[in-house]
Amino acid sequence: MRVVSLGDLVVDVVVRTRSAIATAADTPSEIALTVGGQGANVAAWCASLGADARWLGKRGEDAAGRLASDRLSALGVRMAGPVEPTGTGVVVSLVDLAGERSMFPDRGVAVTFRPEEIRPEWLDCDHLHVSGYALMAEPTRSAALRAAELAREHGARVSVDLASWSGIRDSGLEAFCDAVRVLAPDVVFANDEEAREVGTELVEALWIVSHGARGCSFGDDMREALPVTQVVDTTGAGDALAAGWILGGPELALEAAARCVGQVGAIPLASLQ
């Protein structure tokens, strides 16, 4: 299966606190440098699960960008999109003692991806997955909509992940919802907060809503989360779930999400094949 995942590619700095945060003082932590970005995460999990996966977006050719693209390529992901000399995004993920994370993104040049920079051959695929971050502002909103047009010319299905309830709110709920309607996805991935923010009546699609540790609803099919020995880091769990569903439905979705929360970082540590 050929999957294109449109969105950000960033360097992730994951900070796992080992105690309650001591404001204006020191908090013992474990810090890891890895690769992330919603578009990159889904592409990485798709490749790891056996797909012919391509990441599509704009990245920098600086040291951070080379680190990120090399890591993605090592997992079997093909890279597509314009490259700038500098400006690779960086996201700091703060993971608390329960494994829950708060994110502090600097998206860099990803936010400047324009529709005229897209080559039609990049969208020769069976499935296009769009990060909701790309729909939050121009010019990436128009780039994502153009990508969907090109993908559908090849008969591809289109999915979107709503990405962030706070990002939707801050970027403008009405404009975001209008963009989702124009995208007309076949599948919408969301968590409870994102689904409440926009309302599941927004578009006629299969809504796959994650309920965290309680599991996930695949339309009317509610599934419990798979048991894990320890929740290490929830960063990227929704992206792993999306990749698993695209390739294999609910069972593979839940398996990939369980693997993700048992490791540090949002992309697979190695191929799962």
Task: Report pLDDT digits (tens) over 127-178.
Answer: 999 999 999 999 999 999 999 999 999 999 999 999 999 999 999 999 999 9
The more confident residue out of 234 and 140 is 140
Q: For 239-257, what is the mean pLDDT?
A: 97
Tell me the residue type at 111. V
In a domain, 267, yes or no: no
User: In the prediction, which pLDDT does 273 show?
Assistant: 47
In a domain, 270, yes or no: no
In a domain, 191, yes or no: yes
How high is the mean pLDDT of the chain? 94
In a domain, 124, yes or no: yes
Residue 213 has pLDDT above 90, yes or no: no
Residue with tokens 């995460």: 41
Q: Where are the beta strands (DSSP E) in the chain?
A: 2-6, 10-17, 29-36, 52-56, 59-60, 78-80, 83-84, 89-95, 101-106, 127-131, 157-161, 187-191, 206-210, 216-218, 221-223
In a domain, 269, yes or no: no
Tell me the residue type at 197. E
State the burial class of residue 227 (Cβ atoms within 10 Å of its Cβ: 0-12, 13-18, 19+).
exposed
The more confident residue out of 98 and 22 is 22
Q: 103 has which bridge partners?
A: 93
Tell me the residue type at 176. F
**Dist. CA 191–CA 198, nearest whole Å:** 11
Which of 12, 161, 233, 239 does the annotation list as catalytic? 239
Assign 215 a pLDDT band (cuts: 50, 70, 90): very high
- Establish whether 62 is a catalytic residue: no
In a domain, 203, yes or no: yes
Q: For 27-34, what is the mean pLDDT?
A: 90
Task: Report pLDDT digits (tens) over 179-204.
Answer: 999 999 999 999 999 999 999 999 99
Q: For 14-21, what is the mean pLDDT?
A: 89
CATH of the domain at 146: 3.40.1190.20
Long-range CB pairs of 59-67 (<8 Å, 24+ gap) are 59/9, 59/83, 59/84, 59/88, 59/109, 59/110, 60/84, 60/85, 60/86, 60/87, 60/88, 60/108, 60/109, 61/85, 61/86, 62/86, 62/87, 62/88, 64/11, 64/88, 64/90, 65/9, 67/11, 67/35
| Domain interval for residue 175 | 2-261
Work out the percent of the chain whose per-residue pLDDT is above 90.
81
Range name among 49-53, 99-103, 120-124, 173-177 with the lowest pLDDT average:
99-103
Q: For 108-129, what is the mean pLDDT?
A: 97
In a domain, 176, yes or no: yes
**Dist. CA 105–CA 111, nearest whole Å:** 12
In a domain, 268, yes or no: no
User: In the prediction, which pLDDT does 46 show?
Assistant: 97
Long-range CB pairs of 251-258 (<8 Å, 24+ gap) are 252/49, 253/208, 253/216, 253/218, 254/215, 254/216, 254/223, 254/225, 254/226, 255/226, 256/45, 256/49, 257/210, 257/216, 257/225, 257/226, 258/225, 258/226, 258/227, 258/228
**Dist. CA 31–CA 14, nearest whole Å:** 6
Question: How many domains are there within the chain?
Answer: 1
Assign 271 a pLDDT band (cuts: 50, 70, 90): low
